[in-house]
Amino acid sequence: MTTAIRLNRVSLKYMTEKGEVHAVNSVDLAIEQGEFVGIVGPSGSGKSTLLSLIAGLLLPTSGRVEVFGQEVRGPSSQSAYMLQQDCLLEWRTIEGNALLGLEIMGRVSAEKRLTTVTLLNEYGLEEFRHLYPRQLSGGMRQRVALVRTLATEPAICLLDEPFSALDYTSRLTLQNDVSTILRKSGKTCVLVTHDIPEAIAMCDRVIVLTNRPGRVKWNLPIELSAGEKQPLLRRRAPEFGKYFNRIWEEMELSVATEKTS
Ligand code: ADP
Ligand code: MG
């Protein structure tokens, strides 16, 4: 197996006017190629910071981040983000938005354009190609954002609470679609979420962080007996509730520890 992401004793301190904010503390983590890993933890525990470190948008204060065996020294096209806000440009068509990432990288070609349109078709956006973002529902807009991300052919997808702005049913549907799309493409994915059932439904493994400064508190492989990968079906697995309770207890415990210290 190839290790896609490796964090070795990674710490990050933000320097602010009021002093240092120790966001991430000595995190060790290895994620294999093709794995779908969830990161959950209290608000402010450094989840988004960890994604920025993997993406090379931030460099660690100490420790080392590697992507496919190479030290991360800055942003690279190997990693791509999907965020809570879809960040679509309202004045561009759906196709124009889907091509944006490639355009920014100066990589638009007839071939890439064709691949992007094929992705749009594949993800049910064919008839919306020439429409504008405001004409689409929140869930559809997020699909466009996903196509924009995948069009640049990143090896690693970093998802930072991408479903949290959606209503409940759109969220469940999109979790299912995004998971199916990403698993089919064989990408290595890291999903940050505060939604425990979402992490269990979508991921092969869930990592629980402590309160700030975030450390890896627990690493829990999710093995549902049905062996199912589709989130909507995984939610029906008999062990689902057991995993929920275990993670919930682990997160509560980290809060209790903080209070007494
Ligand atoms: P999470 O995503 O788990 O909610 P973050 O990674 O966003 O947590 O933030 C971790 C901690 O670092 C928080 O206490 C947050 O306030 C702080 N922080 C995040 N970004 C900055 C920044 N640019 N400057 C200073 N502090 C920051
Ligand atoms: Mg965050």
Rounded distance from Cα 70 to ligand 2 centre (Å): 26
Residue among 12, 15, 21 whose CB has most ligand 1 atoms within 8 A, to mutate: 21
User: Which residues pair with residue 6 across a beta bridge?
Assistant: 30, 66
The mean pLDDT value of the chain amounts to: 91
Residue among 15, 22, 48 whose CB has most ligand 1 atoms within 8 A, to mutate: 48
Indicate if the pLDDT at residue 98 is higher than 90. yes
Rounded distance from Cα 40 to ligand 2 centre (Å): 10
What is the pLDDT confidence band of residue 83, given thresholds at 50, 70 and 90?
confident
Q: What is the mean pLDDT of residues 238-257?
A: 82
Q: How many other C-beta atoms are found inside a 10 Å radius of the C-beta of residue 79?
A: 23
Ligand 1 in contact with 14 (CB < 6 A)?
A: yes
pLDDT in tens, 139-191: 889 889 989 988 988 999 999 998 888 899 989 998 998 898 899 888 999 99
Q: What is the mean pLDDT of residues 19-45?
A: 95
Ligand nearest to the CA of 22: 1
Indicate if the pLDDT at residue 260 is higher than 60. no
Ligand 1 in contact with 158 (CB < 6 A)?
A: no
Contacts of 181 (CB under 8 A, 6+ apart): 123, 146, 150
Q: What is the mean pLDDT of residues 111-129?
A: 91
- What is the spatial distance between Cα 50 and Cα 124, in angstroms, rounded to a whole number? 32
Ligand 1 in contact with 16 (CB < 6 A)?
A: yes
What is the pLDDT confidence band of residue 17, given thresholds at 50, 70 and 90?
very high
- What is the spatial distance between Cα 222 and Cα 171, in angstroms, rounded to a whole number? 21
Q: Find how far residue 241's CA is from the centre of its chain.
A: 23
Residue nearest to atom 7 of ligand 1 (CA): 48
24 Cα nearest atom in ligand 1: 10
Ligand 1 in contact with 26 (CB < 6 A)?
A: no
What is the pLDDT confidence band of residue 261, given thresholds at 50, 70 and 90?
very low
Contacts of 190 (CB under 8 A, 6+ apart): 5, 31, 37, 38, 39, 51, 54, 156, 157, 158, 159
Residue nearest to atom 27 of ligand 1 (CA): 14
Q: What is the pLDDT of residue 71?
A: 97
Q: What is the pLDDT of residue 258?
A: 58
Q: What is the pLDDT of residue 228?
A: 81
Residue among 10, 15, 43, 49 whose CB has most ligand 1 atoms within 8 A, to mutate: 49
Q: What is the pLDDT of residue 122?
A: 86
Rounded distance from Cα 141 to ligand 1 centre (Å): 27
Q: What is the pLDDT of residue 254?
A: 55
Q: Which of 196, 194, 201, 200 is nearest to 164 (CA)?
A: 194
- What is the spatial distance between Cα 10 and Cα 25, in angstroms, rounded to a whole number? 7
- What is the spatial distance between Cα 78 and Cα 60, in angstroms, rounded to a whole number? 18
| Angle (CA) 118 121 123, round 5° | 110
Q: What are phi and psi of 131, to 5 degrees?
A: -90, 175
- What is the spatial distance between Cα 182 and Cα 36, in angstroms, rounded to a whole number? 9
Between these two residues, 260 and 111, which has the higher pLDDT value?
111
- What is the spatial distance between Cα 125 and Cα 105, in angstroms, rounded to a whole number? 23
pLDDT in tens, 191-227: 999 899 999 999 999 999 999 999 999 999 999 887 7
Between these two residues, 44 and 254, which has the higher pLDDT value?
44
Q: Domains of the chain (ranges plus CATH)?
A: 3-78+157-260 (3.40.50.300), 88-153 (no CATH)
